[in-house]
Amino acid sequence: MELFWMEHKKLWRKRIVKISVLLCFVYTVIFGGILSFQWFGFGSSDDYTSAFGNNFDGYTVIRDSQQYSLSFGGELTDETLQQLVSDYQRMESAGMDRELENTDWQTVNSWLGMLYPELRDPGNYKTMICYVDPSRLTGFYERRQQAIDEFLEVSGQTGAEKEYLHQMERKVEKPFRYTWVEGWSQLLGSMVADMGAVMALFLAVILSPLFAGEWHDNTSALVLSTRNGWGRVAFAKILTGLAFTVELFALLAVSSIVAQLFFMGTAGWDMPIQNIKPIAVAPMNMLQAEMYEYAFALLGAIGFAGIVMLISAAVKNNVPALLLSLAVVYGPMMFSGYLPYGLQRALDLIPLVGSSTDIFRTNTFHILGRFIWSPNLLITVPVLIGILCMPLAVKGWSRRMKA
């Protein structure tokens, strides 16, 4: 334990670590959280002096939007949808631009385009919510079911796979709970979902020299001469890398949740994720989806840390260790679109390469004759890969130290 604390302090004393943590915090929490809520994400529009065209009043807009949504009864029915659309059209015709920002018009418009495509007017360049006849918006849940079936057919998900997904969908409670959706949509679609990809960059910068740095700093001989030897030192380094990964995640996650609670509160946590994407089949509410996305980021970060430490132990130079670590996560992101679909899905199992937003999709893996919903593997396989890499890192470093 003493050796672990020494390595832990040694890591945190480095200037590059402090700078990296600060930059990661600023990007994820300050810009991706606080300023997004207050300014460029939810601030009211029409401030043309602002770089983002928004006023610095997101807190007020969010609270007004939540209050406005309460007037629709808390359940999403055909009557609710008709009222949402007619109320939007009334405010638009009256020129109530400020009040329009409190509506879920982007979300509702996406519902219309997906579930009522025959009502689209090709000659009208306005969004559907502006001109569609509210009285024709009936059969919301029947149309949703039809849209799911059509999507599965187009995706080639038929037979046993289709039935597997239908079994999941039957657990979704109907009618849906409804309050303000847009905040949760941005939170789950980008704010929390992007955390893993951002952490990957800084984890690569910080952890890639963990082992390789001993060679770079010419301290390998000193490590061998200590009473602890390479074995215990290597184990302490692995624990240090794991501890730092969890600490960085905790710093970002706790700060982000505090910002979320301040700006959004807990309103709408029990809405199903189908309010964001109607053809989603997962029986999850917003809170469960957020918990999954944080788990995805944490477990993926642990898995990625294991890979980075293995690369660091196998390479004697900091620069190649960093470049290879970055290539592990960002390489597949760059080139997966040019690969066969099956290979794309396999690459998603690399830590932090896949996306936590798979909970909104119908992707599956077919393994040993069984279908497995992809989000279940996206939070288990990456961390297992990282755990497997850690003892290999110790062994790899020991061979080089002995040599």
142: Cα separation from own chain's centroid: 30
The answer, yes or no, to whether residue 325 has pLDDT greater than 80, is: yes
**Cα(214)–Cα(147) distance, rounded to whole angstroms?**
57
Nearest partner of 112 among 127, 91, 90, 92, judged by Cα: 127
Q: State the average pLDDT for the chain.
A: 93
Query: How long, in residues, is the chain?
Result: 403
**Cα(48)–Cα(54) distance, rounded to whole angstroms?**
7
Question: For residue 123, which phi and psi values (nearest 5 degrees)?
Answer: -85, -5
**Cα(239)–Cα(396) distance, rounded to whole angstroms?**
16
Q: Residue 1's pLDDT is what?
A: 83
179: Cα separation from own chain's centroid: 22
Q: Residue 294's pLDDT is what?
A: 98
The answer, yes or no, to whether residue 215 has pLDDT greater than 80, is: no
Task: Look at the block and give the residue holding tokens 């469960």.
Answer: 288
Q: Residue 2's pLDDT is what?
A: 86
Model confidence pLDDT, tens digit, residues 27-73: 999 999 999 999 999 999 876 666 678 899 999 999 999 999 999 98
- Within 10 A of 25 (CB to CB), how many other CB atoms are there? 18
367 DSSP β-pair partners = 370
Q: Residue 201's pLDDT is what?
A: 97
The answer, yes or no, to whether residue 398 has pLDDT greater than 80, is: no
Q: How far apart, in Å, are the Cα atoms of 141 and each of 173, 194, 267, 351, 367?
A: 11, 31, 24, 36, 32
% pLDDT > 90, the chain:
86
Model confidence pLDDT, tens digit, residues 73-128: 899 999 999 999 999 999 999 999 999 999 999 999 999 999 999 999 999 999 99
- Within 10 A of 228 (CB to CB), how many other CB atoms are there? 15
Residue 232 parent element (H or E): helix 229-263
**Cα(397)–Cα(367) distance, rounded to whole angstroms?**
34
**Cα(57)–Cα(77) distance, rounded to whole angstroms?**
32
- Within 10 A of 218 (CB to CB), how many other CB atoms are there? 8
**Cα(286)–Cα(301) distance, rounded to whole angstroms?**
22
Model confidence pLDDT, tens digit, residues 330-344: 999 899 889 999 999
Model confidence pLDDT, tens digit, residues 228-268: 567 788 899 999 999 999 999 999 999 999 999 999 999 99
Q: Residue 221's pLDDT is what?
A: 45
Tokens of 145: 């079911």
**Cα(307)–Cα(100) distance, rounded to whole angstroms?**
48
Residue 356 parent element (H or E): none
**Cα(86)–Cα(134) distance, rounded to whole angstroms?**
6
Straight-line distance from the first to the last Cα atom of the chain, in angstroms, rounded to the nearest whole number: 27
**Cα(273)–Cα(176) distance, rounded to whole angstroms?**
9
Q: Residue 107's pLDDT is what?
A: 97
Q: Is 1 helix (H, G, I), strand (E, B) or coil?
A: coil
Q: Residue 218's pLDDT is what?
A: 58
The answer, yes or no, to whether residue 225 has pLDDT greater than 80, is: no
User: Is there a contact between 297 and 192 (Cβ–Cβ < 8 Å)?
Assistant: yes
- State the average pLDDT over residues 359-369: 96
Nearest partner of 306 among 384, 234, 376, 233, judged by Cα: 384
Q: Residue 403's pLDDT is what?
A: 55
Nearest partner of 356 among 293, 310, 307, judged by Cα: 293
Nearest partner of 304 among 249, 231, 357, judged by Cα: 249
The answer, yes or no, to whether residue 16 has pLDDT greater than 70, is: yes
- State the average pLDDT over residues 194-207: 97
- State the average pLDDT over residues 189-210: 97
Q: Residue 226's pLDDT is what?
A: 54
Sequence-distant (6+) residues with CB within 8 A of 348 are 332, 336, 354, 355, 358, 374, 378
